[in-house]
Amino acid sequence: MTDMAEYILLRHRDIPGLDQLETYRQNGGFEAWRKVVSKMDPADVTNEVKASGLRGRGGAGFPTGLKWSFIDEQSWPHYVVANADESEPGTFKDREILEFNPYQFLEGVAICAYAIMANDAYIYLRGEFWQIANKLDQCIAAMESAGFLGDKVFGTKTSLHLHTHLGAGAYICGEETALLESIEGNLGQPRLRPPFPPAFGIYGKPTIVNNVETLTNVPLIISRGAGWYKSTGTEKSPGPKIFSLSGCVNRPGNYELPLGTTFRELIFDHGRGIPEERKIKAIMPAGASSSMIIANDVALATPMDYESVPKLGAQLGSASVIVIDDSVSIPWLLNKTVHFFTHESCGKCTPCREGTYWMMHLTDRISQGKATMNDVLLLQDVANQIKGKCLCALGEFSIEAVLTGIERFPADFEAVTVKSNS
Amino acid sequence: MNALLQKHADEIQVILAKYPADKAGKRSGVMPLLYLAQREYGYITKQALREVAEICEITETEVTSIIGFYSLYYDQPSGKYRVQVCTDLPCALRGAEEFLEKLCENLGIKVGETTPDGLIKVEAVMCLAGCDKAPVFQLQSSEGLEYHENQTVDSALELINKLRQG
């Protein structure tokens, strides 16, 4: 087992009380923030993050430093927005960071703000994280009292104000442009892109949107250096990653492991395998938005990084690994995921709004054993008509499991469908 | 007269100070102000809707559409407490559907209904980011929102009995 020598992101597991400002400070906290403010040029901060190879942990895996370098310097003011809308079924990593290691995350937000020369940053939390938002407000107030935030940070000319903003129950607000709309007091519906947020973000101003886990990596990259960071993970996917393991597994939970750890190690060593000695059947590596991977030896031996998972016809996404065992019927599962996406479609694009609705009715019928194989073909057809026709990824995500589930587990559909009369 | 503004002038000022001091910034206050109104009245009354619109300088229609879009805003009164159980895929794989069904059976209601004493509404909701600690529900009331994880029907009923005793 490749256990991490120490936790980088879930450091509270090594250091009790890390959610207290004084404990965090005594353990090297805010040193990176002090270093950038007093000794570094903003461009050097971006370059260090670029050199670390850090890639966005929200799902897309886009290089973080590169994103920061896209900030439009012709238009001001600039903003940072931290995406804490964590709502993907199977994902619960950001919640642990925010609850137990909040200062490392806030320090990451602050460093990002310095790098792009922003004086205000918003932390957008899903409405269900009401308690966490209250806690972050207290942490922000404590940092202000200590002189780490507010006007004249550490007695320098830099000023930075952090603000929390609660969503109100809408998965779509995890999509970055919908999130920006939501902060502006609008319906959380995605924008047409380009322009992208680094040119046209919140209030039409240049904005960097990063995921909570991504930002939590940043303080240690600054204090220990890009070279140190790259010593974990793979060449193209460096660093640690929090894998949220859920579903049919003995020990579900968050596991911080190097990118490139195999599915087998995560599920069988860390997760202690499948309950009641049932057999593993499928893996969804990116939550409900995932393709369904057949859990054979090849898949289990595959390293979980941004390059290897696509070879299995899937994506790593936010690394929310849902394990499916042989007691689970794939038509039932698809009915679950499709219900979710139907409920969460924002209604802006017709293919997604109507397509998820029809997929819901079809999967209702199929999973209840009232459908023929023609209905399965129709489901496939509807899914294919959503493909590539929506403004954002939600529509696209809603069909991943449907199409791969039908293609890779045909026997499950034959088992529940009735013979057609025609 | 704007009752919300009068009663919570300081808190509203703190909320609006988070956003730019212009028209766009005022509009950003709509979501936090709707939470404030909901806390004050138990749900968003017609009166509160008008007051929020006035403070944010947007139309009542716009506020109405926001209430309709986001699932945590309520424009109708319901049970004092909402027990909202996640039944999405990862939770369902860990028995959340059976949990919800048995809980409702014990309370003598169907999913989505409120107990006869008008106190507890039990609902199925979408993912709460508590997948490893299923069954999980959030308990919503005018005082706020809290998570209850690794639940059994017994532990949930125990909590509900406590709520009933006030």
User: In this complex, is the C-beta atom of A163 within 8 Å of any C-beta atom belonging to chain B?
Assistant: yes
Query: Are A54 and A154 contained in the same domain?
Result: yes
For residue A174, the model assigns a pLDDT of 93
pLDDT at A39 over 80: yes
Average pLDDT score over residue span A1-28: 91
Sign of CA dihedral A374, A376, A380, A381: positive
Query: Are A58 and A189 contained in the same domain?
Result: yes
Chain A: residue whose CA lies nearest to B19: A163
Q: Tell me if A44 is assigned to some domain.
A: yes
Query: How many domains is chain A built from?
Result: 3
Both tokens assigned to A225: 């250096």
Which of A172, A206, A229 is the endpoint of a domain? Answer: A229
**For residue range A274-302, what is the model confidence (pLDDT) as tens digits?**
999 999 999 999 999 999 999 999 999 99
Q: What is the least distance, in Å, from the CA of B32 to any CA of chain A?
A: 7
Omega before residue A63 within 30° of 0, cis: no
Burial string for B48-82 (b: 16+ CB within 10 Å, else e) reads: bbebbbebbebeeebbeebbebbbbbeeeebbbbb
Query: Are A171 and A115 contained in the same domain?
Result: yes
Query: Are A116 and A133 contained in the same domain?
Result: yes
pLDDT at A422 over 60: no
pTM, entire model: 0.96
For residue A255, the model assigns a pLDDT of 98
Which of A325, A354, A381 is the endpoint of a domain? Answer: A325
For residue B161, the model assigns a pLDDT of 94
Q: Single out the residue of A207, A260, A270, A190 nearest to residue A230, CA to CA.
A: A260
Residue A20 lies in domain? 11-229
Which of A325, A358, A385 is the endpoint of a domain? Answer: A325
Query: Are A412 and A313 contained in the same domain?
Result: no
**For residue range A124-165, what is the model confidence (pLDDT) as tens digits?**
999 999 999 999 999 999 999 999 999 999 999 999 999 999
Residues 6+ apart with CB under 8 A from A111: A32, A33, A36, A45, A218, A219, A222
User: In this complex, is the C-beta atom of A62 within 8 Å of any C-beta atom belonging to chain B?
Assistant: no
Q: Tell me if A317 is assigned to some domain.
A: yes
What's the rounded Cα separation, in Å, for the pair A220 and A223?
5
Q: Tell me if A422 is assigned to some domain.
A: no
**Identity of the residue in A90, A188, A203 whose CB atom sits nearest the CB atom of B24:** A203
What's the rounded Cα separation, in Å, for the pair A159 and A261?
40
Q: Tell me if A185 is assigned to some domain.
A: yes
Judged by DSSP in three states, A343 sits in helix
Burial string for A392-408 (b: 16+ CB within 10 Å, else e) reads: bbbbebbbbbbbbbbee
* CB–CB contact A185 B89 (8 Å): no
Q: Single out the residue of A403, A378, A402, A399 nearest to residue A390, CA to CA.
A: A399
Q: Tell me if A4 is assigned to some domain.
A: no
- One DSSP character per residue, A118-158 reads EEEEEEEE-GGGHHHHHHHHHHHHHHHHTTSSBSSGGGSS-
For residue A4, the model assigns a pLDDT of 64
Chain A / chain B CB contacts < 8 angstroms = 137
- Whichever domain contains A280, its CATH number is 3.10.20.600
pLDDT at A23 over 70: yes
User: In this complex, is the C-beta atom of B89 within 8 Å of any C-beta atom belonging to chain A?
Assistant: yes
**The CATH homologous superfamily of the domain defined by B81-164:** Glutaredoxin (3.40.30.10)
For residue B78, the model assigns a pLDDT of 81
Residues of chain A with pLDDT > 90, as a percent, come to 96
Query: Are A245 and A216 contained in the same domain?
Result: no
- Whichever domain contains A53, its CATH number is 3.40.50.11540
Q: Tell me if A212 is assigned to some domain.
A: yes
Q: At what angle do helices A212-224 and A102-115 cross, to 10 degrees?
A: 80
Query: Are A299 and A164 contained in the same domain?
Result: no
The chain-wide mean pLDDT, for chain A, equals 96
Residues 6+ apart with CB under 8 A from A20: none
Judged by DSSP in three states, A235 sits in coil
Please report where in the chains the tokens 């993912």 appear, as a residue: B127
User: In this complex, is the C-beta atom of A365 within 8 Å of any C-beta atom belonging to chain B?
Assistant: no
What's the rounded Cα separation, in Å, for the pair A408 and A404?
6
Average pLDDT score over residue span A253-265: 97
Reported confidence tier of residue A272, pLDDT bands at 50, 70, 90: very high
ipTM comes to 0.95
* CB–CB contact A203 B138 (8 Å): no
Q: Single out the residue of A257, A359, A387 nearest to residue A316, CA to CA.
A: A257
Query: Are A123 and A40 contained in the same domain?
Result: yes
For residue B166, the model assigns a pLDDT of 79
Instruction: Name chain A contacts of B138, Cβ cutoff 8 Å.
Output: 128
Point out the residues of chain B with pLDDT beneath 70.
Answer: none
Query: Are A185 and A310 contained in the same domain?
Result: no
**For residue range A92-132, what is the model confidence (pLDDT) as tens digits?**
999 999 999 999 999 999 999 999 999 999 999 999 999 99
Tell me, rounded to whole angstroms, the distance of Cα B118 from its chain centroid: 16
Instruction: Name chain A contacts of B19, Cβ cutoff 8 Å.
Output: 163
Give the 3-state secondary structure percentages of chain B, helix then strand then coil, rounded to 5: 50, 15, 35
Extents of the domains making up chain B: 3-69, 81-164
- Whichever domain contains A346, its CATH number is 1.20.1440.230
pLDDT at A374 over 60: yes
Dihedrals φ, ψ of B125, to 5°?
-130, 175
Average pLDDT score over residue span A179-187: 98
For residue A3, the model assigns a pLDDT of 61
Query: Are A205 and A274 contained in the same domain?
Result: no
Amino acid in the structure at residue B45? T
* CB–CB contact A187 B66 (8 Å): yes
Dihedrals φ, ψ of A53, to 5°?
75, 10
**B144-148: strand order across its sheet:** B120-125, B81-86, B137-141, B144-148
Average pLDDT score over residue span A26-39: 97
Topology classification of domain B3-69: Arc Repressor Mutant, subunit A (1.10.10)
Query: Are A75 and A209 contained in the same domain?
Result: yes
Q: Tell me if A1 is assigned to some domain.
A: no
Query: Are A246 and A314 contained in the same domain?
Result: yes
Instruction: Name chain A contacts of B93, Cβ cutoff 8 Å.
Output: 246-248, 322, 324, 328
